[in-house]
Chains A and B, each alone.
Chain A
């Protein structure tokens, strides 16, 4: 049985000018211990998917349809307090910017201890010992002394290590990591990713790794989901997607993987830009930019269909498509 399963998830944002559909018909699953990479341009719905899973969509965003299941149990309709017990304990989260994720007024030790005692039956002294242990595991030197330091006394990379410790310290089964290295110096990104991957493997923790850095995905993930305009364009084993993407959009993305020494800011290989949520075209959302567009793409919206080793939401893989 899969650890996490999303079934036809739909997230809406009611606004004054009508309802925006931020996520539409998103389905995928993550097996225990598996790393699923989620890629796409900004605004494609990657982070939104993560927020929906941990039950922290920003109001007025709301889940309007579909289900989220954790170990076969629905968690999308839980009351706030029941969901709270799952957050941290079953599903940990890592956010993008370590400079703003830690409360500046409390020591890292205090923040670790409060997380541990919230979820595990330990007394404060045991929790503190556990906290030091975790700081050591994430590679903070002299952890026993550093535990009483405030966040601002750590560098950015060190802070993200603390955030990782905070996300993992209650031993969750799943980590939702939302752009965990984007805000870090390039030189540190690889270290942090390696640390995250290593810890997840040791603990047997599954991970949903949201990023727009294809290099990170290629190195870390087992499977990858490519998102576009609130939908999944393609999902499949990372090797297949990187080597030979089926969906024209993922193919474009892969073609734009830069050398490892610089970051991806612009996907120069794909013309145009992703449509705003309020102006998604009829048919396939990618049709204005797609080099292989044909008549059906303009009319009908494709669902995920098997395309060799991966699944792609593209009419090219439906029977009767032009060769």
Chain B
């Protein structure tokens, strides 16, 4: 721990107000989302507490606003602030799960391809290349479409959340695989790996215990930037109406619902979830950018 606070990374962290700020904002977003059931002023999913009389209330600071609903209410009379907190929970859950999934898949493939080389490498990387030709959002859409066609509707609604995580995770793995493969190729020929081989350690042991820790730096950077991408991908899918089920609205779902009321003047139903999404993604992106620069010795 001491070593961490002495390190260059911590130093560059404390030097940048922007980075500190975005870390704090990201923390608030995550805390607010995780603790939504305890912190949110209302429970947007408790149908009994919803009253249609309260529908379309503008934010509390406007003329017709109600102090009970600081950011106004939607067409069902749900409190926007609470809906956003619960929505961010879903967005973050999908974002983190998909990123972790993509990381595990990509890192394993990259390690295998880089360390084993030969045919394994050629086949795996060819697959990655072909998939990289297609934008990830298209891949995610396709996977979602295929699952939708393959399983009955009732089943699909139940597994929709996992489908989205799978779709986004699968659509993002090649980036990790490529980076890890590149670093593995470099590490493989270093003396410490040769030494480990001479001692007679097995391939997988060398890969996991010796090569893996040395390629994790770039993985951390891509992972952070990818978290932002995954949150955006989930929001996009949900906005398109093929993401998470309407019973568990994410920020993207809220924006889609609000989009229907854009022309009748109820702008807050769209804009506030949108702003929440932007703040969340921007703070994660800023952290990722800083991490990339801090870990890149070339830019120091």
Contact = CB atoms under 8 A, between A and B. Distances in A.
A–B in direct contact per CB < 8 Å: yes
Interface of A: 16
Interface in B1-26: 8, 11-12, 15
B187 to A, nearest CB: 25
Nearest to A16: B11
Nearest to A17: B11
A16 B12 CA distance: 9
The 4 closest A-B pairs by CB, nearest first: A16-B11, A16-B15, A16-B12, A16-B8
Contacts of A16: 8, 11-12, 15
Contacts of B15: 16
A219 B11 CA distance: 50
B245 to A, nearest CB: 50
A281 to B, nearest CB: 24
A16 B15 CA distance: 10
Interface of B: 8, 11-12, 15
Nearest to B12: A16
A16 B13 CA distance: 13
A210 B201 CA distance: 46
Contacts of B12: 16
B299 to A, nearest CB: 12
A14 to B, nearest CB: 13
A154 to B, nearest CB: 29
A16 B8 CA distance: 9
Nearest to B15: A16
B120 to A, nearest CB: 33
A26 B12 CA distance: 34
For the complex, would chain B's binding face be called helix, strand, loop or mixed by DSSP majority? helix
B300 to A, nearest CB: 8
A292 B8 CA distance: 39
A278 to B, nearest CB: 14
B88 to A, nearest CB: 36
4 contacts: A16-B8, A16-B11, A16-B12, A16-B15
Contacts of B11: 16
A16 B11 CA distance: 9
B25 to A, nearest CB: 25
Contacts of B8: 16
B118 to A, nearest CB: 30
Nearest to A15: B300
B89 to A, nearest CB: 39
A16 B300 CA distance: 9
Nearest to B11: A16
B32 to A, nearest CB: 34
A248 B160 CA distance: 77
A242 to B, nearest CB: 37
Nearest to B8: A16
A16 B299 CA distance: 13
A159 B8 CA distance: 41
A295 B11 CA distance: 39
B119 to A, nearest CB: 32
A18 to B, nearest CB: 13
A108 to B, nearest CB: 30
B86 to A, nearest CB: 43
A153 B11 CA distance: 47
A206 B194 CA distance: 49
A16 B7 CA distance: 12
A172 to B, nearest CB: 32
B165 to A, nearest CB: 41
B297 to A, nearest CB: 13
A16 B14 CA distance: 12
B16 to A, nearest CB: 12
A314 B12 CA distance: 41
A316 B8 CA distance: 42
A34 to B, nearest CB: 38
A163 to B, nearest CB: 25
A197 to B, nearest CB: 37
B5 to A, nearest CB: 15
B132 to A, nearest CB: 27
